[in-house]
Amino acid sequence: MLTTVLSIGAFLLMLGLLVVVHELGHFLSAIWLGIKVEEFGVGYPPRALVLFERSGVKYTLNWLPLGGFVRFASSGDGQDSLYGAGGSLSAASPWRKILVMVAGPLMNLLLAMFILAVIFMFQGVPTPSGGQDVGDIYAGTPAAAAGFQKGDELIRLDGQAMTNSALIPATARASQGRTLDAVVLRDGKEIRLKVTPGPWTAPDGTSYALGFGFSYSQKIVHVRANPVEAVWRGVSDSLILTSQMLKSLASLPASVMGIFASTPSGTGQPIGPVGIARATGEVIQQPGGLLAFWNLTAILSLNLFLLNLLPIPALDGSHIIFAIIEWLRGGKKVPPEKEAIVHAFGFVALMALMLLITVNDVINAIHGTPVLGN
């Protein structure tokens, strides 16, 4: 029960921080550009109380602790929140609208950079070392027969230093089935093993003609860094992760369709609030759970940065597209009622997708499938 309460609390903290920071970007940029804002809310309505009011802006606390929002001035013609009149977003020039819309996702990018920089200051900068961490040893495989153990560090194989993970399968293929010498570090001591690559089948069904039968990853050590180095790595790692996420978007349709697979897996699929809450619970129970929690927060913040910039109706990217169209048309806006229809359909589609993903998250939770894998 205590773990569940901590997981829910950590999830609400994470989600609240990500959304409030996002909305803060919209809010600060609007104030800077002279665009009228009526309310900055923490949480979602119904309203609990008005914390204070300053310069015509109400700062409110709301009952649903799932983030926050910015309410722009209403236009007087039935439009609400996003497009107002008389110094509000609707009356602003297209480039001002674009800046306000971009500012929200940009704050998520900056938040991720900041979090990673702080992690690197405390934990050190992750740096590849000279070996490979050995993970699971699968039963009935050459690795199991040779005596490999989970937690070993493979430092040499067939006389070659294992400085790159790609060397392991390459060495297996080049062996032509002969017995190889392997050196692992186990409890600080070098252990020599002999392993004969052979056929084996991974748990996901993939078959290998010549392999070992263990999972592995690059050995990472944390090297102390000064603040400048930590900030630089926070910035560069955020950009690298964003680039990787952008490339993975191509597989998003397949990931969504994977929900309908006859034997769905919890990993490799999009997750919603339930999945994120479960992932949060998983990371805070790991050794070093606090740093893992903030690392997950940074990754999700990068996801919000990227996804909100996509030209999907109802998201920031869609509003940016409409502002660009207005700009290209010399200030002539798309009729508000037509734009509202586009965003309404987009919102309904997003909610339908979210419902589907949430159902899948609940099914995985019932089956006990870990969100982040074993």
Comparing CA positions, the residue from 150, 152, 157 lying closest to residue 194 is: 157
Beta-strand relationship, 189-195 and 57-72: unpaired
| CB-based contacts of 110, cutoff 8 Å, min separation 6 | none
Tokens of 184: 């692992």
Comparing CA positions, the residue from 109, 90, 108, 100 lying closest to residue 31 is: 100
* Contact yes or no for 43/65 (Cβ under 8 A): yes
The CATH number that domain 127-223 falls under is 2.30.42.10
Q: What is the DSSP letter of 92?
A: S
- The full set of domain ranges for the chain reads 2-120+286-367, 127-223
pLDDT digits 0-9 by tens, 202-250: 887 888 889 999 999 989 888 998 999 999 999 999 999 999 888 877 6
Task: Decide if pLDDT at 82 tops 80.
Answer: no
| Residue % of the chain over a pLDDT of 90 | 46
pLDDT digits 0-9 by tens, 20-68: 999 999 999 999 988 889 999 988 889 999 999 998 899 999 998 777 8
